[in-house]
A and B are shown apart, each in its own frame.
Chain A
């Protein structure tokens, strides 16, 4: 047990060290690529808390991600001078408020009904954002300038691509450790028991609905954080990111990487984007044709995902 724990932390330190060094050695394109994978990986991890640990497939995570983006945009456009921490706060408040609303209604339903309800909720927010042009910029979205990285009295510096990568890495790492702690806590154990057998969990005396609501809210907050990071990196918020196809892609990351592992979804995001790069060379913008075929085959033949597959092979 202690030996495997030591192995885990050594592996964690090696991967972290590689990700810290990455922007210093990689060319511009791949540096950006790694930063984006980290952000999408955080979104995928947040969804894993629901899919992998609680057994609820959400098709509405684009709503939380998008509200994180628009929350950050609101802070950066209305408050002078633009403040990084306020952007994060606004984004989390935006995503959190939506998450409370969605969680309250959707957690009363199970399985596919939960999936369809979350999908429909995300479309409600998509329609609102898309049509409320005066506030959200409608189809064009909102553009803004990047805030400086500032800790009052200590440091104030503009982001360079390298420092932005480190900032994203720090946020994602802290979120990962937080999510890992959550899944290993007694609370996380209850979530996993809901996944394994919901009636029995209820019979033992746990208030299942309450746990589910909290799970959706936590998941929504981390998804919103990913949205804030994405907005910071790309300096815009657009309705396309609220559309349900984004939710679908995040589910794809989870299935490809391995649900219920937290690291798996990040690996899944990396795998997806690598496939996209690879196939874009041959299929240009139609890369989703081969990627979709690979995904469908994985659902049928490797339902435990890349990480689960590797784990099983290593254990043999």
Chain B
């Protein structure tokens, strides 16, 4: 069977767009893991709550950008609260306990969303509704905007990590927690800020993703699994690797869904994950340590 070229190109664009959103979720997750050794099971729920908060603000004000800003601020604050109340007491214990604690949180947050917002999915409208024609399709500009915005947020994070005072503190804490503390860096505060940044990025991707499929209480579950796969394939704690892996896996899934249903296309990512773990356990885009 030959695949028409136009279908292939459409799937490439689709893959990059979903890949960029996934990269935004995964980079928050990998940032939190790299610095705090915390596997945040509740990350998908922060993504979902961000989308809900965005939709609430959107319904009252009608302004998409205000909704995005409010969700980022609100969920960032929630992240800071979660870190200080739940994760700070676990500092220094086995990293596995953080999986358990954040799993408990994800149960709470997910059911809270179901209770608060009900089972009917909500809709956020796109801020720009234009289309451009791509072969036989009317392709929405908004999807490209999502990819560009995600890239801008990730780029902003990179600049912040490279040049910002907090960014330098964060990198120092990643390298050596004890030494950083000895140099006067307030390590507990750095942890809180990192978790808040990760949560805010999850919220931003939730709001950006909202117009594409609608907002429901289970959207976090689907995303957290894919984000986990991306983070492991890209190399735990490796920001660049996560972004590459997100785009790579989304492209693969987009191609796979030419032949099988999207639900089955997920298996391609699973297989990539298993192969990565078997042959390059430090990550697909990292040179294996000697």
Residue ranges of A at the interface with B (Cβ–Cβ < 8 Å): 57, 105, 108-109, 111-113, 115-117, 119-121, 123-124, 127-128, 130-131, 244-245, 248, 251-252, 255, 283, 285-286, 288-289, 291-293, 295-296, 299-300, 303
Chain A residues within an 8 Å CB radius of B100? 251, 255, 295, 299
Q: Is B114 an interface residue (CB 8 A)?
A: yes
When chains A and B are docked, how far (Å) is the Cα of A128 from the Cα of B208? Answer: 30
When chains A and B are docked, how far (Å) is the Cα of A288 from the Cα of B273? Answer: 31
When chains A and B are docked, how far (Å) is the Cα of A123 from the Cα of B269? Answer: 11
**Contact of B105 with A288 in the complex, beta carbons under 8 Å:** no
Q: How far is the CB of A32 from chain B (nearest CB, A)?
A: 24
**Contact of B278 with A105 in the complex, beta carbons under 8 Å:** yes
Q: Considering only CB atoms and an 8 Å cut-off, how many residues of chain B contact the other chain? A: 38
**Contact of B86 with A300 in the complex, beta carbons under 8 Å:** yes
**Contact of B99 with A115 in the complex, beta carbons under 8 Å:** yes
- Contacting A at CB under 8 A, from B174-228, are 221, 225, 228
Chain B residues within an 8 Å CB radius of A115? 39, 96, 99
Chain A residues within an 8 Å CB radius of B99? 57, 112, 115
**Contact of A123 with B270 in the complex, beta carbons under 8 Å:** yes
User: Which of B14-22, B129-137, B157-165, B260-268 touches A?
Assistant: B260-268
Closest to A301 in B: B89
27 intermolecular pairs with C-beta atoms under 8 Å apart: A57-B96, A57-B99, A105-B277, A108-B277, A112-B95, A113-B281, A115-B96, A116-B228, A120-B270, A121-B270, A124-B270, A127-B270, A128-B267, A130-B263, A131-B264, A244-B225, A248-B103, A252-B104, A288-B107, A289-B111, A289-B112, A289-B115, A292-B104, A295-B104, A296-B104, A296-B108, A300-B86
Most B Cβ at <10 Å: residue of A57, A244, A283, A296 = A296
Which residue from A111, A292, A300 sits with its C-beta under 8 Å from B107?
A292
Q: How far is the CB of A61 from chain B (nearest CB, A)?
A: 14
Residue ranges of B at the interface with A (Cβ–Cβ < 8 Å): 39, 86, 89-90, 93, 95-97, 99-101, 103-108, 110-112, 114-115, 221, 225, 228-229, 232, 261, 263-264, 266-267, 270, 273-274, 277-278, 281
**Contact of B89 with A300 in the complex, beta carbons under 8 Å:** yes
**Contact of B115 with A303 in the complex, beta carbons under 8 Å:** no
Q: How far is the CB of B89 from chain A (nearest CB, A)?
A: 5
The DSSP consensus for interface residues of chain A is helix
**Contact of A108 with B278 in the complex, beta carbons under 8 Å:** yes
Chain B residues within an 8 Å CB radius of A288? 107-108, 110-111
Which residue from B89, B114, B229, B261 sits with its C-beta under 8 Å from A120?
B229
Which residue from A109, A252, A255 sits with its C-beta under 8 Å from B277?
A109
Q: How far is the CB of B117 from chain A (nearest CB, A)?
A: 12
Closest to A300 in B: B89
**Contact of A296 with B111 in the complex, beta carbons under 8 Å:** no
List 4 extra interface pairs beyond A112-B96, A295-B107, CB under 8 A: A127-B264, A127-B267, A288-B110, A292-B104
Closest to B106 in A: A292
Chain B residues within an 8 Å CB radius of A292? 104-108, 111
Q: How far is the CB of B111 from chain A (nearest CB, A)?
A: 4
When chains A and B are docked, how far (Å) is the Cα of A111 from the Cα of B277? Answer: 13
Chain B residues within an 8 Å CB radius of A128? 267
